[in-house]
Every structure is written in C-alpha cells, then in structure tokens.
Chains A and B, each alone.
Chain A
Amino acid sequence: MQRSAEILGSSIVVVGAFNPAIFSVDWLEKQNLLGKQDAEGARHADNYLVTKEVATVETEWFVLQVLKDRLTINSKASLHPGIVDLVVGVLCLLAHTPVNAVGLNFSAHYRMESVDDYHRVGDLAAPKEVWHQFFPSDSHAIGLMNLTLRINRGSRDEMRTGGDCINLTLQPSARIHAGVAFSYNDHHEVGEQENGKFSKAEFAASIVEQEWKPSYENALRLFSETLDRLLAK
C-alpha cells in the first residue's frame, strides 16, 4: 500500500528566454488562463510584481514566477494538475519562445512512526561505518543532511552530463519533526526539432502535457517504496 505523504508539492520549471513584462494578471485573465476570482485575488496579492526583469503572480493555488531565463510555477499546499494546464497554455500561446529544458518536480514529506525509524532511513541510505573510522562513534555523531542521486538511462560508461535524467534527493524534513523529505526532478532537454513541425515551446508543452502524470505517479511510488525497503525489518 502506498504511503501517504503529510506534505505534497509540485512545480514545473521551463528554462528558456522569456519576457517577464507580459505576464501580468490582466494578460493571464484575458487569455483565459485565469478565472475572474483568481485574477482579482492575484491583483491584490502582496507580492504581485511585473517588471522587465521579473514577474510574480500568486493565487490561492499557485505561485508563478517568470525571470528572463526561466518560468517557474509552484502548486501551493497540495498537488494540483491545474499547473500543467497553465504551463501548456502559456507555451502554446507563446509558441515561438526559445525553450531549452523542462523540469517536472515533486516533493513529499513523510512522518516516521518513531525517531528510530527516522534514523534508520538515514543510516541505510548513507551508511556511516566508513566515516566512523575517522570520527569514532563514541565521541562523534554523523547524520545524513542531503543525498542526491542522478539517474540516467544507459550504463555508467555511457553516462553523460547532459540529456534527460531524474534527480532524486533524500533529506531530513525541515517541516516535520522526525520526518523524511524526498524530491524528484524529472529533467527533459528540449533540443532543436528535426522535422521543424513543432517549435521548441510547442514540444516543451507536449512534454509537460504527456509526462507530468506518469512522472508524478513514478515519484510517489518511488518515495513510498524507498521508505518501505529502507524500513523493512
């Protein structure tokens, strides 16, 4: 049975060349990307900002930030598929935006049943025996702060620095006492389209549209099964 995350979040990052100045609430509402109530709330949000360098739009369910080199949208408080629609809508409307990469990101915080379980996860994910040779356990405590793995398709010999990959991070939760936090970054490179049928922005939109659901299903399953295996008696 899949474990239930106490806190679940999702974000989408699009790397490319953007003009933050156009991402006003008026523009989003006029393009029917925002409803009237959401738009009204966003106009009166404390952090509403639109300049040549940065745009920030916040509603009850997302925070959108646009810089010259990236667009980031974070769901607030819960996982919300609506952020997919917003990003796909923006990329389809701005079909000639140069886009280089897309990141589909998911994070989850799990509460452990006991402090012992919490330490067990860290000890098994990053065994301390090697380090205790230098820092004896009778006088030093060693704890896992952050563990990041990069998963590329292909063998280790074929591993390359670029290309599609998954970055998986495990760390203590900063929001839940004796909690464990995972983050999953599904990174997609957007290369030049060989047949010229779709622009890079349109291709990026199709990545977000088609990959978001399988990506979050993989992420949730991976988080849950990793904890099951680390905590197995």
Chain B
Amino acid sequence: MGFETDIVERASFGVSDTLSGVFDFGVFQPKVTSDFAQKWALTDAVENSLPVSQEKPLLVDRAKPKDVKQLRPEGVGTVLQVLEGRVVSVSYEEQTMEAHLTPKIGQVEDHVAEIDLGWVNQQDKDLIQPGAVFYITVSKIITKAGNVQSLNELRFRRRPVWSRRQVETIKAEAESFWNSFNSI
C-alpha cells in the first residue's frame, strides 16, 4: 500500500459568506494507492461456504514451525513455591529461628520449620523477631549453558507504617475484646 503526499483536494467547511475567507481550511489528503486487491484476492464467502459450527476444530495442514534456537534468557526461572513465614521464636545461641510457613502455590498445608539464621540477608538481621513476616521463594533456574539450579531466597517484609485501615481494624478488635471482658 503506497501513499502520495500531494494535495489532492482542498476542502472548505461550510460557513456563512461573511466568514468564508477566514475559515477556509486546506486539507491535505494523501492519495492512497492500494495493491491489497491483487495480493489478497478474496473468495466469495457464499460460493465456498463452510459450516460455521463444527463439533471438532477444522483440521488444517500447517507448515511445521522452523527449528528455532531455544531462547533461554539468563536467570529466568520457574517458581516452584512461594512461602510466607511468620517467626515463632528465635534462638541466637543456636542461630536458628522457628517459623510457621504458609505455602502460596498449590494445595499444600501449612507447616512449622526451623531455619538457620545464616539464610537471612545481613540487611534483614535487625528485622528478626517473633511475629516478623518473611517470604521464601523457591525457584528452578536454567542457566545459559542449560544447567539446572535451585534458588531459595528469603526476604523479610518491610512495612514501616501501619495503614489507617489496619489501625481501625485493630481498634475494632480491641473494642470487641474489651466488651467481651466487660460483659463477664
């Protein structure tokens, strides 16, 4: 499909005679030459009509896709599991923490695990305390050379401020507890 940039016509928008001189816009219309009809000769849909609905998909012979080199972006991995953990207790003598883990992918039950503090990044060490939340991402990484590696990453949650909604929820729960105690 080709375009020519010559001015094909000049259009004036209908206005009153007194204003025609002021609002006489020139419109540049590209002249379009199309070879669509030659390239894509359409068959008559009525002559060659096929049933629209079929029980099975129409079988079509396709050319086999070319053998392309598999693209393996470096470091791209398959996420096997994401777990949200909550620290139950910390033992600095043994350098471990006990945590309640909730898997987020698939129908896997919660469980409790003991995790070596050596798996915690230096930047997160000061976040370790009972009740703190962290995430573990377990991935399978395929390197450029095609080697399969396993990657476990542990990262603590950073929520520096309470949201107003969290505060309101806590207030409502506290009030509910207070009312329960008062009624005894």
A interface, CB within 8 angstroms of B: 2, 4-8, 31-38, 61, 77-82, 85-86, 88-89, 91-93, 95, 115, 119-120, 123-124, 127-130, 132-137, 141-142, 175-178, 197-198, 202-203, 205-206, 209, 213, 216-217, 220
Q: Is the CB–CB distance between A119 and B157 below 8 Å?
A: no
Interface centre among A79, A93, A119, A123 (most CB of B within 10 A): A79
Contacts of B61 in A (CB 8 A): 137
Sorted nearest first, the 4 A-B pairs with minimum C-beta distance are A35-B123, A32-B160, A37-B123, A123-B57
Return the contact of A32 from the options B70, B82, B158 (Cβ within 8 A): B158
CB contacts under 8 Å to A, within B155-174, are 155, 157-165, 168
Q: Is the CB–CB distance between A81 and B135 below 8 Å?
A: yes
Q: Is the CB–CB distance between A85 and B157 below 8 Å?
A: yes
Q: Is the CB–CB distance between B78 and A128 below 8 Å?
A: no
14 additional contacts (CB under 8 A) given A85-B158, A217-B104: A7-B78, A8-B79, A61-B153, A81-B84, A81-B104, A82-B135, A89-B161, A91-B163, A128-B57, A129-B57, A132-B60, A133-B48, A198-B165, A202-B165
Contacts of B184 in A (CB 8 A): none
Q: Which single residue of chain B is at the shortest CB-CB distance from A81?
A: B135
A-B contact list, 26 entries, CB within 8 Å: A2-B105, A31-B160, A61-B153, A77-B77, A77-B139, A80-B82, A80-B137, A82-B135, A85-B157, A86-B158, A93-B161, A120-B57, A124-B57, A129-B50, A130-B52, A133-B48, A133-B49, A133-B50, A135-B42, A175-B76, A177-B68, A197-B168, A202-B164, A209-B165, A213-B104, A216-B104
Proximity string of chain B (111-141) to chain A, C-beta cutoff 8 Å, 1 when within and 0 when not: 0000000000111100000000001010100
Assess whether B51 is interfacial by the CB under 8 Å rule. Answer: yes
Q: Which single residue of chain B is at the shortest CB-CB distance from A6?
A: B78
Q: Is the CB–CB distance between B163 and A205 below 8 Å?
A: yes
Cα distance A7–B42 in the bound complex, in angstroms: 40
* With known contacts A77-B77, A133-B50, A89–B159 Cβ distance under 8 A: yes
* With known contacts A78-B139, A202-B164, A137–B75 Cβ distance under 8 A: no
